[in-house]
Amino acid sequence: MKADRFLLGVFVVVAAAAVYQGAGLPSSEWGPRLASLTALASTPAPKPYEPQSFLEAFCEAPSAAVCDGLGATGLEKAESELSEKLNEEALANVARGLGVAVPFSSGKIYADMAMVAHQAGIAPSEADVLFTEELERLLTERLGFSPSQEQAMVSTLRSALTDAVNYQGDVQPDTTDWKALAERASQPVAFLSASEFLRKGGPVKPIKGFCGKSLERYNAFFYQGKTGDRLEAVVLCPGVSLRALAAREQGRYTPDFAKQATYSLLSHELAHPIDARKHPQAYNNWMGCARQAASENSTLPVTPRKLSELSADQWSAETLAMLVEQGKVSREEVAGILAFGSLNYCLMPERKNGTHPDGRFRIDFKGRNPRLRQALGCAPLPPTTLSCGVEGSTL
Ligand SMILES: [Zn+2]
């Protein structure tokens, strides 16, 4: 194993030297670049994933277990390289379907699509549908992960979320607000793929914003149309499958990656219709605890938007706990959902005027949810650690 790594390191250095020489780089600049490449090549291999030891590490230090133990940075890099290749292939298929052949370049795929659509005399929305459909079809074929499986996941998660809200409603002093919350939680929200969303008249803007211009982002979003537009849906970005495929081709993770990532994203998005910004009264107890935890972690303002994201994360934790309690999902499966479904948070720092709190803090906050900890068999937290259940602080 060590010998392989050394050989790989040598190969990378030789190849890089040739490239830089060809590009006419002054020899004085080779040194630092070669040194950083050598360092990259000799990065130790991440520890193999094992559910039980991951859970132990997660109970102890949630974000460290997710972000440090698995070498997330290297994974992201490898995945983005593969995602570009896959996007090019999907794009070539779409271009063939349109009967137009143009040279495409990665990184501006969406712009190229618009150009193709313009040349072919097709309206942009139709080109958007074609592009997303083609990508989704390609990914479904390669992964064997069908839309009906995703729909089944949504029903499981939705019923667990409704049960979790009802459970909390029973112990809340203010039953009026919690009744409203439980009723809202039980109302169905459409779960749509990106192409179905466009077909139903959903705008392109949120897709580009949340999924990326070439749909490559590992993300999902909850959409609520403005007055007059009744469309309300949770949309899963094709980037989730794209990453799963990339990870699988890397031989790094289990074939369940797409399932785990989907569970994690959907359990958060399905909670947005009942988040703290839409129903602030129901969160009176929780709000103080969450605000304190967030301000201990950052000097940036704790906005209502950030609190709404944290409340959706809390419901995601409560939903996963409920699934374990009801015997619908095993602890090992939840370990996979937390380990692989939270990977994208590792690389999401809090931004000034941003909508989400720091990604690593989000993992820690979720990992300190009392109910999830109990369901996973975690030891109690030290009494000085702030832990916020949906019902409020446990301190
Ligand atoms: Zn959110």
Contact 214/157 with Cβ under 8 angstroms?
Answer: no
Name the most confidently modeled range: 223-237, 275-289, 307-321, 378-392.
307-321
Residues 38 and 162 in one domain: no
Residue 223 Cα to ligand 1 midpoint, Å, equals 10
Q: Do 165 and 23 fall within a single domain?
A: no
HSE at residue 99, side-chain half, CA atoms within 13 A, is 4
Are 218 and 346 in the same domain? yes
CA of 270 to the centre of ligand 1 (A): 9
Range with lowest mean pLDDT among 133-142, 166-175, 263-272, 319-328: 166-175
What's the pLDDT at 98? 66
* 205 and 329 co-located in one domain: yes
Same domain, 167 and 287: yes
Q: What is the pLDDT of residue 32?
A: 45
Helix extents (H) in 298-348:
304-325, 331-341
Q: How far is the CA of 312 from the centre of ligand 1 (A)?
A: 6
In a domain, 298, yes or no: yes
Indicate the pairing of strand 220-224 with strand 190-193.
unpaired
Phi and psi dihedrals of 220, rounded to 5? -145, 165
Rg (CA), the chain: 23
Q: Do residues 105 and 95 make contact, with C-beta atoms less than 8 angstroms apart?
A: no
Give pLDDT, residue 77. 61
pLDDT digits (tens, 9 = 90+) for 221-253: 999 988 667 899 999 998 888 777 766 665 555
Q: Which residues does residue 224 pair with via DSSP β-bridges, in sequence order?
A: 232
Separation between Cα atoms, residue 100 and residue 95, nearest integer Å: 5
322 located within any domain: yes
Domain co-membership, 159 together with 32: no
**157 located within any domain:** yes
User: Which pTM does this prediction carry?
Assistant: 0.80
Gap from CA of 297 to ligand 1 centroid (Å): 19
In this structure, what token pair is assigned to residue 271?
């909670």
The span from the CA of 338 to the CA of 321, in Å, is 12
> How many separate domains does the chain show?
2
Residue 294: domain span: 147-393
The angle that helices 124-143 and 72-98 make with each other, rounded to 10 degrees, is: 120
Give distance in angstroms: CA of 221 to centre of ligand 1.
7
- Could you tell me if residue 193 is inside a domain? yes
Model confidence pLDDT, tens digit, residues 289-309? 899 999 998 888 889 999 999
Average pLDDT over residues 331-340: 91
Q: Is 72 within a domain? A: no
Q: Is residue 63 part of a domain?
A: no
pLDDT at residue 35 tops 80 = no
Residue 66 lies in a domain: no
- If asked whether residues 229 and 372 sit together in one domain, one would say yes
Cα(26) to centroid(ligand 1), Å: 47
Kindly state whether residue 339 falls inside one of the protein's structural domains: yes
pLDDT in tens, 103-133: 544 445 566 666 677 777 777 788 888 888 8
- Quote the CA–CA distance of 202 and 182 in Å, as a whole number: 27
Tell me what percent of the residues of the chain surpass a pLDDT of 70: 72
Residue 365 C-alpha to ligand 1 middle, in angstroms?
Answer: 14
Question: Using CA atoms, how far apart are residues 102 and 137, in angstroms rounded to an integer?
Answer: 22
Q: Are residues 214 and 357 in the same domain?
A: yes
